[in-house]
């Protein structure tokens, strides 16, 4: 057990990869002393620890460990964390989808985590329409297993038709999603405590609908979420809000985001807001605020295309100077306040 406590998961992953990537050539490869020692040490571990280690692997790799020996044949079926990449969703196993195969053989009473990796080279994958039925099926099966944590990043610009059961998953504790959640129906995530949304467009009404269905929500993070003009957070449970917008300049109208959150205690806003005016309407319970975002000068964005008569740089900055003064006033109740270098550039 002492060795198990020092065991590094990366070593196990390297070991698994070395024998599973091309299992047909395993017998032809010369096994090194180090590999033999590692194999022996791993074999000494109890099943419960091996299952825990398998839960850190992609599910396709965890399933492949069944070829190692009789002892390993069914270990993966006790794993309670599933990680599927986008390519797995359409693969079949004896005419049964890989996802269906995994869930059918799972003996874990509940699913702690489901992660759908629909990204490519750390960027969202496009054109997911052919995968939507499989994604929907996977989410339905996860809800049946009382899933607690879901990570689903798609980045697809088309709407994702998700199963009705997903919107009323009472076991869900945390959700990270890049799928468009423009859902007008009833949301009932009664146990949800943390939500992270990114790579999507949301309307003010959709956020209101979302928050009304999450009475236990404590933390919200919005990253590269567009379309909002008002964040009205009235829940006394929601204490932490993190915003990392990446707004596209859209001159010709006054773009602003109002934050009304009288019970919020922690606020972080970072990233480039361009000309977006983020206004703090009510943050009277604030304890810790980090405002490290940047505002890009209008001349730096439009360059030679700028019309000096239409866009006055001095007036443009004066608006944000007034905004900074308002920040300092509204956040005077905070115990800790962190300001980015942009604030000093605007004020002086």
Q: Within this chain, do residues 85 and 67 fall inside the same structural domain, yes or no?
A: no
pLDDT of residue 136: 85
Domains of the chain: total: 2
Of the two residues 129 and 308, the one the predictor is more confident about is 129
The answer to whether residues 32 and 121 belong to one domain is no
Do 239 and 98 share a domain, yes or no?
yes
Judge if 62 and 183 occupy the same domain.
no
Q: Are residues 161 and 17 in the same domain?
A: no
Q: Which of 78, 103, 130 is the last residue of a domain?
A: 78
Least confident interval from 40-54, 183-197, 234-248: 40-54
User: Which of 52-61, 156-165, 177-186 is predicted least confidently?
Assistant: 156-165
State the residue range of the domain holding 127. 79-347
Whether 49 and 148 share a structural domain? no
Q: Are 3 and 67 in a shared domain?
A: yes
Q: Are 254 and 231 in contact (CB under 8 A)?
A: no
Q: Minimal CA–CA distance to 8: which of 41, 47, 46?
A: 41
Are residue 120 and residue 63 in the same domain, yes or no?
Answer: no
- pLDDT at residue number 5: 40
41 and 101: one domain?
no
Handedness of CA 43, 44, 45, 46 (dihedral sign): positive
Sign of CA dihedral 13, 16, 18, 22: negative
Residue position matching structure tokens 């050539």:
25
Cβ-Cβ contacts under 8 Å for 341 (sequence gap 6 or more): none
Nearest CA among 271, 277, 270 for reference residue 324:
277
The last residue of a domain, from among 31, 51, 78: 78
**Neighbouring-strand partners of residue 119:** 124
Q: Are residues 17 and 139 in the same domain?
A: no
What SS3 state is found at 55?
A: coil
On whether the CB atoms of residues 276 and 256 are closer than 8 A, the answer is: yes
- Domain end call among 78, 108, 134: 78
Tokens representing 177? Answer: 């999603």
| H or E segment to which residue 152 belongs | strand 149-153
3-state secondary structure of 309: coil
**Residue 280: Cβ within 10 Å count:** 23
Using DSSP's 3-state secondary structure scheme, residue 121 falls into coil
Q: What is the pLDDT of residues 193-243, one digit of tens each?
A: 999 998 888 889 999 999 999 999 999 999 988 888 999 999 999 999 999
CB 191 within 8 A of CB 209: no
Do 107 and 55 have their domain in common?
no
Q: Is residue 259 predicted with pLDDT exceeding 90?
A: yes
CB atoms within 10 A of CB 321: 13
User: Are residues 121 and 72 part of one domain?
Assistant: no
Q: Where are the alpha helices (DSSP H) in the chain?
A: 2-6, 9-20, 33-43, 47-54, 59-64, 98-105, 132-144, 164-167, 204-212, 298-302, 313-330, 341-347
């Amino acid at each position: 057990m002492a060795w198990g406590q020092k065991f590094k998961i990366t070593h196990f992953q390297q070991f698994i990869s070395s024998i599973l990537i091309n299992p047909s050539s395993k017998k032809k490869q010369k096994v090194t002393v180090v590999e033999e020692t590692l194999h022996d040490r791993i074999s000494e571990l109890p099943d419960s620890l091996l299952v825990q280690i398998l839960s850190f692997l992609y599910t396709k790799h965890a399933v492949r460990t069944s070829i190692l020996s009789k002892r390993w044949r069914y270990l993966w079926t006790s794993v309670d964390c599933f990680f599927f990449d986008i390519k797995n969703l359409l693969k079949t196993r004896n005419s049964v989808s890989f996802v269906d195969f995994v869930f059918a053989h799972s003996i874990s009473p509940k699913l702690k985590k489901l992660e759908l990796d629909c990204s490519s080279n750390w960027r969202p994958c496009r054109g997911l329409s052919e995968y939507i039925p499989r994604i929907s099926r996977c989410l339905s099966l996860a809800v049946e297993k009382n899933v607690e944590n879901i990570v689903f990043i798609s980045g697809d610009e088309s709407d994702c038709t998700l199963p009705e059961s997903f919107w009323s998953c009472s076991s869900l504790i945390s959700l990270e999603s890049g799928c468009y959640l423009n859902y007008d129906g009833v949301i009932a995530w009664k146990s949800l405590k943390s939500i992270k949304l990114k790579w999507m467009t949301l309307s003010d009404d959709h956020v209101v609908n979302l928050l009304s269905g999450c009475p236990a929500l404590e933390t919200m993070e919005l990253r590269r979420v567009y379309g909002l003009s008002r964040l009205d957070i009235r829940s006394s449970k929601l204490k932490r809000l993190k915003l990392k917008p990446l707004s596209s300049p859209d001159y010709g109208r006054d773009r602003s985001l109002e934050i009304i959150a009288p019970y919020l205690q922690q606020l972080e806003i970072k990233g480039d807001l361009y000309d977006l005016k983020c206004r703090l309407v009510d943050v009277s319970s604030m304890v810790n605020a980090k405002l490290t975002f940047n505002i890009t000068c209008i001349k730096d964005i439009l360059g030679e295309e700028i019309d000096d008569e239409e866009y006055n740089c001095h007036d443009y900055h004066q608006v944000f100077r007034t905004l900074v003064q308002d920040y300092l006033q509204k956040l005077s109740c905070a115990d800790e306040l962190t300001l980015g270098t942009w604030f000093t550039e605007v004020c002086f």
